Amino acid sequence: MKALVRPRRLAPGARVAVVAPSGPVPEERLQAGLDILRGWDLEPVVAPHVLDRHGTFDYLAGTDADRAADLQSAWCDPSVDAVLCARGGYGVQRMAELLDWDALRAAGPKVFLGFSDITALHEAFATRLGLVTLHGPMAAGIDFIKNARAQEHLRATLFEPESVRTLTSSGQALVPGRARGVLLGGCLSLLAADLGTPHARPSARGGLLCLEDVNEETYRLDRYLTHLLRAGWLDGVTGILLGSWERCDPYERIRALFLDRLGGLGVPIAEEFGFGHCEGALTVPFGVPGELDAEAGTLTLDVPALA
């Protein structure tokens, strides 16, 4: 797996578009997030349909066509330096085929940020555009609004990425060892659901795989992992970083599942790396090469997240 193209870091005064490719966005949370971005001397631009809600399916932020149009327009606007997702939820997979990927590629590299359901776009941006993307707190997310650690790590990644080239785990090694590879991953359930689609990579071979999820029972996590194993998607993965498992079963039960399903891969596995649906979530650049030391609980990036 080769490293992807790194977009340029942001500078004060940069214009950042906020889009809602998935679920509906609470207006008060959006306004709080915009205030933080303005406090960083950024100029946020809210896409037209960010506050929409689908007339029939209220778990969607407006129609598929409108959500896709917002993302397309923001990315192809030459005055926009970054596209930030407002929140996750569900909906990206419904609109991914509505995007003009040739036009997105022609618009050139820029920063893209999101997590959770946005995992499907991380995969698509990697396979279709060959771009590094940021898996991190979203503009209208509670963690971004209220947690200083999440804010500061994201701010440093955007403006001073050389200052956050080492990420540290708060846990221990599930399987000890060192591994090198290109970072990829995201929400486990989305990676499993994306398998076989035109935008998903054929495997995680050569990659350091980051996994997290939220509000899932152990048997469902088992199903997702088993599906990836049976499909051969995990063949050749070099190492695994486990993030947060908020509102899932007690961690000791999930930990036993990870050993059962992933331990046989024979690669280093580090847990509690602090990304995903947790308080103070770290920002992880997908598409950047790095080294995992599972025993030390460190991930060291070969290069800064952004150029």
Segment holding 264, helix H or strand E: none
Q: Going by DSSP bridges, is the β-strand pair 166-168/298-301 parallel, antiparallel, or unpaired? A: antiparallel
**Residue of 122, 123, 189, 212 marked catalytic:** 212
Structural contact between residues 181 and 289, judged by C-beta atoms closer than 8 angstroms: yes
Helices (H) and strands (E) in the chain, counts: 10, 14
Helix, strand and coil percent figures for the chain, each rounded to 5: 35, 20, 40
Cα separation of 161 and 252, whole Å?
34
227 is catalytic: no
295 is catalytic: no
Residue 113: phi and psi, rounded to 5, are -135, 135
**Residue of 116, 169, 189, 244 marked catalytic:** 116
**Residue of 49, 54, 122, 277 marked catalytic:** 277
116 is catalytic: yes
Q: Going by DSSP bridges, is the β-strand pair 82-85/133-135 parallel, antiparallel, or unpaired? A: unpaired
Catalytically active residues are: 116, 212, 277
